[in-house]
Structure 1
């Protein structure tokens, strides 16, 4: 913000100029006013002033005298001279005293705004130049590189080659490396930069900080995995206890392109959670899971089907099937990626999903209450995972403990578990193909060994379980359509035919017949 001092012997003009334009919108602040040149000069000495609006004719000390007095020791402050029409020739003398311009009373808002914009550009340029001269060479490089990154590619930079040479930034090719500190909210980037500067600039290039990242401009470094690994190890060794991920840009021959490469590299780093790599990312790095085009799918998902996925994961745990467990976790992750979930949404959804799965297990497996309680307490650690790959591994390891805490047994034991599973889930949409996948069998083979174990084909056995349960529900007075739905039949007529074939009478007759 630049400070403005208004000097005029007419109170209405002083206050009018204070409110004529929204000064703060142009990064200016009217710090004070004065009624004549003498008072104005005293207030100028007491404050840091960047712009003075001064009237030509005033008592005690006029505007010309004030300008000449200030100019004896200060050639930086900007002046805008105020004058009446009759004083124009007098105002020309002021222009020879390095005055930016003059405004004819009454002052027009548009004209003042144009001058203010022009003066701001001048002050900005002088400020940048002064900062560059006042800082050390590393700070000058940092300021220069930040300016290049922020500048529009279409804007010319007439002194680019001179500045590049003067700052020691000449090279045949460059690369940008961005470093992000993971799960660290108290990292002082400037302190980290100062700690690393000597090690980086001795061999690699120039280190600076930007946004929330440490940045390195590599000079004439041949791109290779060996070099990237060396750089990664160097940074981690000097930032002990800090988990980092790096992103490396393309090689570019012209330093003016640093802005484009910085933004592309930053975008990749911001999405680091979704990539396979855990150390450094490049333009050819692969995402852990790619979003699949849902145009070809029959069903378009608008909301994550958490209840359906809960059931499938629970079935996999019931079947003690490790592969099915892995498949279901990956399918859940893929669904979230397809839905363009953010990192936070993915973690939140998995915590909720696993809470529901473990809660379902605790209801049906009270013997595992201690294990399930410990696993539930560990769900919050999902928030600490820095990549999708690590997150999926953690979720699998966590749920696998449910399987490993149970006795898997031989094939006979597996078939007993399958039968028990059917008795507990007969009301759901059970299919032999689905159960074969869950219990890790070929469906045809499972059908064969199931018949050998039970003496009946799978569908026959399932219908029998459903019908026996339907008989019980009918005797309790439940309506036929309610019973059909309760035992797993969405079509009442189909249930009616099944029941009549199995029992020998219709459901309604059986309900009336039962005392």
Structure 2
């Protein structure tokens, strides 16, 4: 507790100054003054927790000094000392909000008791102030810990004029791995909005672990006008300064108790950044404006991706995925459709790679699929593409000893089994007869061409059942079955149970 002593009698002034630290080492003497005028300047300068002041002093008496402190709204406690027991002095002091009134000569035990009471009172008020601070209130609202309490609602109305159905907006800024690089800039931008923003009040909370900021906007004069200001002024400014991952979101609600739901709803929308890109403010209004269409899986891009893996051309591989992104955005489709299509492409690539000896293909794909499922920005996908390419192309063992002819036949089979390729088409590509290829295929692999196709499909169905939430008709289409019922029949013949039973048992 920081204390200022204002007393015109030097022995008392010096004695109080010397005894404070002895009473409690947490008591800090912030300064001493010998007159009311000098004491007022000292209080203005040091902003103490408590001022101990005499009533009768030269230049300005203690009660006049205290009146100035109250008028200037300097937040400090006051304890009055006086040799005068006149009731009028005490009454006036009480009206000015003193915490105690002690008569001279001062008893040390009484002084110690009074100081302890004042210290405890300050601590209670600080705790109360903390509970009513905007940071505490908004943070509890975001995390769902704010209770529906009538007394709290009344205090918030009194202190901040926040009503129970107050229109509130949430502006979110997510940066991912860019967080440390740009956090100071975002802090300054948000602070500038809080100070200079017109038609609203704002408070920003930093979430370091989530690498993001959430700004709560309240006292909104016009919600739509404020959203337009954020979208047309703040979003372009942030995008011009921040490279890499940047997700900007907006949502609205009524009342503090609705903030958590509004934040969670905004979080669920952030994956639309995959479709809109970083320059968009993702909001309910934005989603209502966009018209999406079913996504037709781009087989031509799948072929290009397979070719880039076969050629071990990482630059071409990266380019195919960017084409894939642009294709999804041009349709445009939903983020879920985009993720399902990316999952399909990744599965096909991993299966082909695994069959030709890339031992890390399957495990690497599982890691990549997790990235896809959690992605809210294309940067999330790009950051993993190089590792995924390595997993698809790195071989750690010698290939089986089969002829070059059958190696090529197997390669075609693995690449196009889901597109209904026939043995006749492969034989034509390899410039041999269908009969000869069929004979050699069975001789060198131990399985017929049809059995091999069937095995590829069933193994891929298993992977999709366990590693995705795709529906049976989607899985059937991905592995080359035109009829999901027929796929289920074949699956049961091979595995001994229906696909959904397999998912439930092993998922």
Q: Is the pair's TM-score, using the shorter chain for normalization, greater than 0.5?
A: no
Q: TM-score, normalised by structure 1?
A: 0.42
Q: TM-score, normalised by structure 2?
A: 0.43
